């Protein structure tokens, strides 16, 4: 188990990470999520031993303060893979096991096993300079896993890839991490990637961990409005929960997980859907997305504490600016903030 205990990293007297504490249980994937510049990479680097820090990084209770990077037993993957260009694919993956003194025959078997795991069976003799971006990242992952690290540290491993490849590789990565039973810290600024890959989330903002917990719990109940907005909430209104039901200006939704009482309601765009019944408003803007239409709707006449809101329509709805629509509350996009 990894324990990060009140870690602070300071550059030129300015703390980039402040008092960060977190734990990752064996076999668990934790996503460290936060906006650009929030300190994610810095914290990952401090855990790896690449950055001087105060506080403690422990593995199974042992303080790693005096342990250099290559003796921590951690595997690292960065955004651009950083493969050894003068070695072929097998040479890259076999590097760690070779350093560990694994005999050649066992190394070959380990390389083949890992290539199979990342979906590149038979790629041993390929030059890394001839690989596509997605293939190179798979090789980087295989190389990091080859010495059987006790912790895998992934720093934005998919962000150099185009959107479609990212999505498919994220799904593959879920399977790879599960099969390898890899304890993993994943740094990302992409909430979808975090939700796809992680068991738990830690949200970092301005160097501080604002919230950590089970992915679904954080999604449903962000700690404050800032975390909520970072996690996709675009509309905030007041509401009341009673008997597992939320009542707000946009209607009623089942929230069996929420505590009763007055609440701040966070709505993601898909919490408000264009439908035949619901709160009326006028479409101000429309933007087509891959599988839905995003609309901005002026509801100022019906909802006093919201002027315009983001909502979604299906492509088939064919809504246009100036049109009158109705918005129905969808519990799937509702968060209770705070
Ligand atoms: N080597 C360094 N020297 C001085 N300041 C640094 C150094 N590395 C990072 N910083 C600063 O520390 C802060 C956190 O940077 P960091 O790279 O950890 O953020 P991040 O959340 O990983 O961002 P991104 O998603 O953009 O990579 C930033 O303000 C950055 O400018």
ipTM: 0.92
Which of 7, 32, 41 for a ligand 1 pocket mutation test, highest count of atoms within 8 Å of Cβ?
Answer: 41
pLDDT band for position 191 (cuts 50, 70, 90):
confident
Q: What is the pLDDT of residue 165?
A: 79
Residues with CB under 6 A from ligand 1: 11, 16, 34, 36-42, 189
- DSSP symbol at 269: G
Point out which residues pair with 266 in neighbouring strands.
236, 335
- Given a cut of 80, whether residue 25 has pLDDT beyond it is yes
Atom of ligand 1 nearest to the CA of 9: 12
Domain ranges of the chain: 2-220, 232-337
2-220 matches 232-337 in fold: no
Atom of ligand 1 nearest to the CA of 12: 4
Q: What is the pLDDT of residue 39?
A: 96
CB 207 within 8 A of CB 16: yes
CA 77-82-85 angle, to 5 degrees, is 145
Round to whole Å and give the CA distance between 311 and 285: 10
pLDDT band for position 176 (cuts 50, 70, 90):
confident
Q: DSSP per residue over 148-165, as a string?
A: --SEEEEESTTTTS-HHH
Hey, is 42 helix, strand or coil? helix
Q: What is the pLDDT of residue 331?
A: 93
CB 8 within 8 A of CB 18: yes
CB 193 within 8 A of CB 170: yes
Atom of ligand 1 nearest to the CA of 189: 25
Round to whole Å and give the CA distance between 237 and 267: 8
Round to whole Å and give the CA distance between 143 and 137: 10
Q: What is the pLDDT of residue 34?
A: 92
Rounded percentage of the chain residues whose pLDDT exceeds 90: 78
Distance (Å) of CA 122 to CA 113, 136, 143, 148, 193: 10, 14, 15, 21, 28
Instruction: Round to the nearest angstrom and report the end-to-end CA distance of the chain.
Output: 29
Q: How far is the CA of 204 from the centre of ligand 1 (A)?
A: 12
pLDDT band for position 333 (cuts 50, 70, 90):
very high
- DSSP symbol at 127: B
- For the chain, the average pLDDT equals 93
Q: What is the pLDDT of residue 181?
A: 86
The superfamily (CATH) of domain 232-337 is Nucleic acid-binding proteins (2.40.50.140)
Round to whole Å and give the CA distance between 315 and 324: 17
Tokens 């990470």, located at residue: 17
- DSSP symbol at 321: T
Q: DSSP per residue over 314-334, as a string?
A: -GGG---TT-EEEEEE-GGGE
pLDDT tens, position by position, 54-112: 999 999 999 999 999 989 999 999 887 789 999 999 999 999 999 999 999 999 999 99
Q: What is the pLDDT of residue 42?
A: 96
Q: Tokens representing 205? A: 């903002």
Domain 2-220 maps to which CATH number in 3.10.20.30, 3.40.50.2300, 3.40.50.300, 3.40.309.10? 3.40.50.300
Q: How far is the CA of 316 from the centre of ligand 1 (A)?
A: 44
- Given a cut of 80, whether residue 160 has pLDDT beyond it is no
- Given a cut of 80, whether residue 144 has pLDDT beyond it is yes
Q: How far is the CA of 186 from the centre of ligand 1 (A)?
A: 16
Q: How far is the CA of 41 from the centre of ligand 1 (A)?
A: 7
The model carries a pTM of 0.89
Determine phi and psi for 333, rounding to 5 degrees: -105, 10
Point out which residues pair with 267 in neighbouring strands.
235, 334
Q: What is the pLDDT of residue 169?
A: 83
How many Cα atoms sit within 13 Å of 90 on the Cβ side? 16
Point out which residues pair with 76 in neighbouring strands.
153
Determine the average pLDDT of the residues in 15-23: 96
């Amino acid at each position: 188990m990894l324990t990060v205990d009140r870690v602070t990293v300071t550059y030129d007297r300015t703390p980039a990470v402040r008092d960060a504490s977190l734990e990752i249980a064996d076999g668990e994937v934790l996503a460290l999520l936060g906006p650009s510049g929030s300190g994610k990479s810095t914290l990952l680097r401090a855990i790896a031993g690449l950055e001087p820090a105060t506080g403690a990084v422990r593995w199974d209770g042992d303080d790693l303060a005096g342990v250099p990077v290559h003796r921590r037993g951690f595997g690292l993957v960065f955004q651009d893979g950083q493969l050894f260009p003068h070695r072929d694919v097998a040479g890259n993956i076999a590097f760690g096991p070779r350093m560990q003194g694994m005999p050649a025959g066992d190394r070959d078997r380990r390389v083949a096993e890992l290539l199979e795991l990342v979906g590149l069976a038979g790629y041993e003799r390929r030059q890394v300079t001839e690989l596509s971006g997605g293939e190179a990242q798979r090789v980087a992952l295989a190389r990091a896993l080859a010495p059987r690290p006790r912790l895998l540290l992934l720093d934005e491993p998919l962000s150099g890839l185009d959107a479609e490849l990212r999505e498919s590789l994220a799904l593959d990565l879920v399977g790879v991490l599960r099969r390898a039973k890899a304890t993993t810290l994943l740094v990302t600024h992409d909430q979808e990637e975090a939700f796809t890959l992680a068991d738990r989330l830690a949200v970092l903002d301005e160097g501080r961990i604002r919230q950590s917990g089970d992915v679904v719990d954080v999604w449903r109940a962000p700690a404050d409005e800032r975390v909520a907005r970072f996690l996709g909430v675009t509309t905030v209104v007041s509401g009341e929960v009673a008997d597992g039901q939320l009542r707000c200006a946009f209607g009623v939704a089942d929230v069996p997980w929420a505590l009763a009482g007055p609440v701040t309601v966070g709505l993601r765009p898909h919490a408000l859907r264009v439908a035949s019944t619901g709160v009326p408003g006028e479409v101000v803007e429309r933007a087509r997305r891959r599988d839905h239409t995003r609309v901005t709707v002026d509801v100022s006449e019906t909802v006093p504490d919201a002027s315009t809101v983001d909502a979604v329509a299906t492509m088939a709805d064919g809504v246009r600016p100036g049109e009158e629509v109705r918005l129905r509350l969808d519990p799937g996009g509702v968060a209770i903030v705070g």
